[in-house]
Amino acid sequence: MIVSAQSPILLFDSGFGGLSVLAAVRETLPDAPVIYAADLAGLPYGEKTEAEIAARVAGLLGRLAERYQPRLICIACNTASTIALGMVRDVLEIPIVGTVPAIKPAAALTKTGVIGLLGTAATIRQGYVDDLEAKFATDKKLIRYAAPELVHAAELLLRGGTPDPAIFEQVANDLRSKAGDAEIDTVVLACTHFPLLEAQLRAAFGQEVRFVDGAAGIAHRVAHLTQDQAFERDGPGLAIVTGPVDQTLAHALQPYGLSVIERL
């Protein structure tokens, strides 16, 4: 199939966590036209039921695909991917790249054999995560922890706010106490919002813990699936949001090359 050089790659998240994935995609494919869609009216997905998330994601991606004719969709959200990836792939006829917890690379990297997994409440209870654990980490200890407060902290930071440092200390302490005597040396950032808080998480966890996320792997996969295609950016990057656009957003999205914001 011939793909138009202007056909965008569409990245989708509940909010702006997917910018951590966009940054990696931009680095790998600097000429790719990109549309970033954020379901702000549905944020946070992590506190919703599976049925609610599946319905929102499938409905919105269907509308976005029809309107913008992307060459590929990247679901830059662990929660949406672990719940709705299969379903979306069944209904849309374009390649869909998901974001799933980076348990495989974490299992290869850990020395102590103890891995922390920070995600949303919805992500950490998914069978998808059970399957990844069974496939790649049966000989490791995987300690799952839901940290919805980090989603809000990332959205706040992006808009120029300062999250309370106590939030990060609390997450690090709680995850470590769930591990008991076992020493966590690797933490999977299994929510795309969390790499945006790497500096704050680093301060709370200390230098010796390694963080792993899927952004580079996703960018690699997107590049692979589009390797024979031409790219031409014929205008500014577009952000589409559901829900209200606040004033700070335009400024926050500028460094990511998203200079036009539209409501869906």
What is the length of the chain?
264
In this structure, what are the phi and psi dihedrals at residue 245, rounded to the nearest 5 degrees?
-100, 120
The two three-digit tokens of residue 214, written as one number: 């899927």
- By the rule CB under 6 A, 192 interacts with ligand DGL: yes
- By the rule CB under 6 A, 57 interacts with ligand DGL: no
* Number of chain residues interacting with ligand DGL (CB under 6 A): 17
Is the CB of 127 or the CB of 180 nearer to ligand DGL? 127
The two three-digit tokens of residue 141, written as one number: 């200890």
Segment interacting with ligand DGL (CB under 6 A) among 54-62, 110-118, 186-194, 229-237:
186-194
Is the CB of 44 or the CB of 116 nearer to ligand DGL? 44
Where residue 146 falls (left for φ over 0; alpha for ψ -120 to 50; beta otherwise) is: beta
- By the rule CB under 6 A, 44 interacts with ligand DGL: yes
In this structure, what are the phi and psi dihedrals at residue 181, rounded to the nearest 5 degrees?
-80, -15
Is the CB of 97 or the CB of 231 nearer to ligand DGL? 97
Segment interacting with ligand DGL (CB under 6 A) among 14-22, 161-169, 203-211, 252-260:
14-22
The two three-digit tokens of residue 41, written as one number: 């009216």
- By the rule CB under 6 A, 98 interacts with ligand DGL: no
In the block, tokens 């335009």 appear at 250
Q: Where are the beta strands (DSSP E) in the chain?
A: 9-13, 34-38, 72-75, 96-97, 114-119, 141-146, 186-189, 210-212, 237-241, 258-263
Whether residue 74 lies in the annotated active site:
no
- By the rule CB under 6 A, 17 interacts with ligand DGL: yes
Binding site for ligand DGL (CB under 6 A): 13-15, 17, 43-46, 77-79, 120, 123, 151, 191-193
